[in-house]
């Protein structure tokens, strides 16, 4: 089959989905089902646009055949915006020619660009070993070089360790981190955190230049709530804690989605639930580097792989704030993992053939979203970056401990006596399982800690929790604050969550403050 869609047999099939109603929420277009049947789209980008998301591809200047602009409406430079190419040791820019070629190609084909990537332990080139001030210089230069021509930037990439430890990496740039009070995290205002400090700088640049560029954190093996064997996905939980804590600086989360037979890289049944919990924080979620090893379907390059693609695309479509999917290359033979044959096309050099996986993705996109109108996505709010940090000179010094804490907190020496708290729960359920998000709200006075009790129905068990310490897994269970979310100012809230098996309908949480 040719790569030119105009030469394809015209699809006469009529999609079963009703017409799409566009809903603008927080600057993002969402689609809800409303009316009569509409014709199916014949390209990935058209079908995705109708469903209210982008469908993109990773590209290099040597791979800009016509199919790029025909099938995709988003482009990520696969290698040409990495520090190894464009950064000098002082954080200045160099060698931006290939990146410019890609941005120009995207613009002339009405494609959105994702910048990839700024703060990363790998492919750092001359930036390797830089301090935070130099990283900040590079962040500012990269953001302002392309401005609004880049819609999304991966500010921080792959910050978390392999093997489901849930820990940060220990190599540079994470050697810049300092856990000042030794409590095991980098979230306290006196800690130094390269993730926080890089996002603070990026947000300052965005605000000072009135850019609309959205700032993302991107990682792999974070896709499911669980990994193989049903073990909690600690890496996903750690990413969730980072996004929740630094929500005011982070606009979007990338799940790389390199699915293969590594036990931590599987397509788990709770992919959608995990996308949903990040989306519930108000960030956009993107599947940023999708490829699906055909081994996952018993060496079946046909239907099994197609079904897996369908499942992944559906998980995104079912979450309103999942606003984009990007495949990591056009064809199997030109992929970084060609032996896995994980992409949507075969062939090469501009002559590509569609696989069953392509047809499945197109079909699933054409079905559109199935989003309940009763649960509109939350509009994200981005408060201005701390007034103490403006105006910012071109080369910003590292963010100092004098920066205000990121999350709402009260002084530990707060004179008020402990007061009450309340808790409410929202459930995201599927057959055989659920995710509960519990909101803890302080009463009329600040609280220094909290504990939420609830009784699970018979047969329900807790398998995984985040942002709390859980006691018990069935019947009467209890969740207590962790180090960074115990203190809540009067009238303010924090959230924790847990995943369970069985059904949790009707659970009533009770909050006790300390
Ligand atoms: O696809 C990229 C490949 O061409 C490079 O050789 C490789 C070097 O690390 O990086 C690949 O892209 C990576 C991406 O930037 C981040 N996530 C993992 C991707 C695959 O390794």
> pLDDT tens across 474-498, in order?
999 999 987 667 888 788 777 787 8
Q: Is residue 16 part of a domain?
A: no
Q: Are residues 292 and 435 in the same domain?
A: no
Give the mutation target among 256, 336, 342 for probing the ligand 1 site: most ligand atoms within 8 A of CB: 336
Residues with Cβ within 8 Å of residue 170, at least 6 apart in sequence: 161
Give the mutation target among 56, 63, 79 for probing the ligand 1 site: most ligand atoms within 8 A of CB: 79
| pLDDT, tens digit (0-9, with 9 covering 90-100), for 369-421 | 976 433 333 443 455 665 333 333 333 333 333 333 333 333 333 344 457 99
| pLDDT, tens digit (0-9, with 9 covering 90-100), for 34-57 | 445 668 999 999 999 999 999 999
Q: What is the C-alpha separation between 33 and 376, in angstroms, rounded?
A: 13
Q: Is residue 115 part of a domain?
A: yes
Residues with Cβ within 8 Å of residue 433, at least 6 apart in sequence: 269, 270, 273, 499, 500, 501, 502
Q: Are residues 278 and 144 in the same domain?
A: yes
Would you call 289 a catalytic residue per the annotation?
yes
Q: Are residues 349 and 434 in the same domain?
A: no
Boundary (domain end) residue, out of 328, 343, 367: 367
Q: Are residues 350 and 457 in the same domain?
A: no
Select which of 41, 78, 289, 495 is catalytic: 289
The half-sphere exposure of 9 on its side-chain side, counting CA atoms within 13 A, is: 5
Q: Is residue 13 part of a domain?
A: no
Q: Are residues 176 and 323 in the same domain?
A: yes
Q: Are residues 334 and 438 in the same domain?
A: no
Would you call 284 a catalytic residue per the annotation?
no
Any idea what the CATH number is for the domain that residue 435 is in?
A: 2.60.40.290
Q: Is residue 379 part of a domain?
A: no
Block means of pLDDT (10 residues each) for the chain, length 514 residues? 33 34 36 58 98 98 98 98 98 98 98 98 98 98 98 98 98 98 95 98 98 98 97 98 97 98 96 97 98 83 91 98 98 95 96 97 96 42 48 34 33 49 82 77 89 95 80 94 77 78 91 93
Alpha helices, DSSP H, located in 52-147: 66-71, 83-86, 97-108, 132-146
Boundary (domain end) residue, out of 367, 388, 403: 367
| 337 Cα–ligand 1 center, Å | 10
Q: Are residues 327 and 470 in the same domain?
A: no
Any idea what the CATH number is for the domain that residue 60 is in?
A: 3.20.20.80
Alpha helices, DSSP H, located in 92-209: 97-108, 132-146, 194-208
What's the number of domains the chain is made of? 2
Q: Are residues 362 and 428 in the same domain?
A: no
Domain that residue 136 falls in: 39-367
Q: What residue owns the CA closest to ligand 1's atom 6?
A: 336
List, in sequence order, every beta strand (DSSP E) within 40-185: 54-59, 74-77, 112-119, 152-157
| pLDDT (0 to 100) of residue 12 | 31
Boundary (domain end) residue, out of 322, 339, 367: 367
The mean predicted confidence, pLDDT, of the chain is: 85
Q: Is residue 156 part of a domain?
A: yes
CB 445 within 8 A of CB 414: no
Atom in ligand 1 nearest the alpha carbon of residue 123: 9
| 478 Cα–ligand 1 center, Å | 42
Q: Are residues 353 and 431 in the same domain?
A: no
| 466 Cα–ligand 1 center, Å | 30
Atom in ligand 1 nearest the alpha carbon of residue 116: 15
Q: Are residues 298 and 435 in the same domain?
A: no
Q: Is residue 354 part of a domain?
A: yes
Q: Are residues 80 and 209 in the same domain?
A: yes
| 218 Cα–ligand 1 center, Å | 13
Q: What is the C-alpha separation between 449 and 438, in angstroms, rounded?
A: 15
Q: What is the C-alpha separation between 302 and 356, in angstroms, rounded?
A: 5
Atom in ligand 1 nearest the alpha carbon of residue 335: 1
């Amino acid at each position: 089959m040719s790569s030119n869609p105009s030469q394809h047999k015209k699809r006469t099939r009529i999609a079963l989905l009703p017409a799409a109603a566009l809903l603008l929420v927080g600057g993002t277009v969402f689609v809800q089902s409303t009316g009569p049947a509409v014709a199916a789209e014949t390209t990935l980008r058209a079908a995705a646009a109708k469903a209210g998301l982008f469908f993109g591809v990773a590209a290099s200047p040597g791979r800009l055949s016509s199919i790029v602009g025909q099938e995709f409406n988003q482009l990520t430079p696969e290698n040409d915006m990495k520090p190894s190419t464009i950064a000098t040791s002082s954080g200045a820019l160099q060698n931006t020619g290939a990146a410019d070629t890609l941005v120009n190609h995207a613009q002339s084909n009405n494609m959105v660009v994702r910048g990839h990537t700024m703060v990363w332990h790998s492919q750092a080139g001359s930036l390797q070993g830089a301090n935070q001030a130099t990283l900040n210089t590079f962040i500012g230069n990269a953001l302002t070089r392309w401005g609004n021509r880049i819609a999304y930037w991966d500010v921080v990439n792959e910050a978390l360790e392999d093997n489901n430890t849930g820990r940060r990496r220990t190599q540079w740039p994470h050697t810049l981190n300092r856990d000042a009070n030794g409590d095991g995290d980098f979230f306290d205002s006196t800690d130094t955190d390269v993730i926080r400090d890089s996002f603070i700088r990026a947000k300052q640049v965005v605000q000072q230049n009135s850019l609309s560029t959205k700032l993302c954190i991107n990682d792999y093996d974070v896709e499911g709530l669980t990994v193989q064997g049903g073990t909690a996905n600690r890496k996903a939980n750690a990413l969730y804690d980072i996004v929740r804590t630094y929500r005011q600086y982070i606009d979007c989360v990338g799940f790389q989605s390199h699915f293969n037979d590594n036990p931590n890289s599987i397509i788990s049944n709770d992919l959608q639930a995990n996308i949903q919990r990040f989306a519930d924080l108000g960030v956009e979620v993107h599947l940023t580097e999708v490829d699906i090893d055909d081994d996952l379907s018993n060496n079946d390059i046909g239907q099994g792989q197609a079904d897996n693609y369908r499942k992944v695309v559906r998980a995104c479509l079912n979450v309103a704030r999942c606003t984009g999917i990007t495949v990591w290359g056009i064809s199997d033979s030109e992929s970084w993992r060609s032996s896995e044959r994980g992409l949507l096309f075969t062939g090469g050099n501009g002559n590509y053939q569609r696989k069953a996986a392509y047809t499945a993705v197109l079909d699933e996109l054409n079905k559109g979203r199935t989003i309940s109108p009763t649960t509109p996505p939350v509009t994200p709010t981005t408060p201005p970056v701390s007034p103490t940090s403006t105006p910012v000179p071109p080369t910003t010094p590292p963010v100092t401990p004098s920066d205000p804490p990121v999350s709402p907190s009260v002084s530990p020496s707060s004179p008020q006596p402990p007061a009450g708290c309340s808790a409410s729960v929202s459930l995201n359920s599927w057959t055989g399982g659920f995710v509960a998000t519990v909101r803890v709200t302080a009463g009329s006075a600040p609280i220094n800690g909290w504990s939420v009790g609830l009784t699970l129905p018979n047969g329900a068990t807790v398998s995984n929790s985040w942002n709390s310490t859980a006691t018990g897994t069935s019947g009467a269970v209890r969740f207590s604050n962790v180090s960074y979310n115990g203190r809540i100012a009067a009238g303010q809230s924090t959230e924790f969550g847990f995943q369970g098996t069985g059904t949790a309908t009707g659970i009533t949480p009770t909050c006790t403050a300390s």
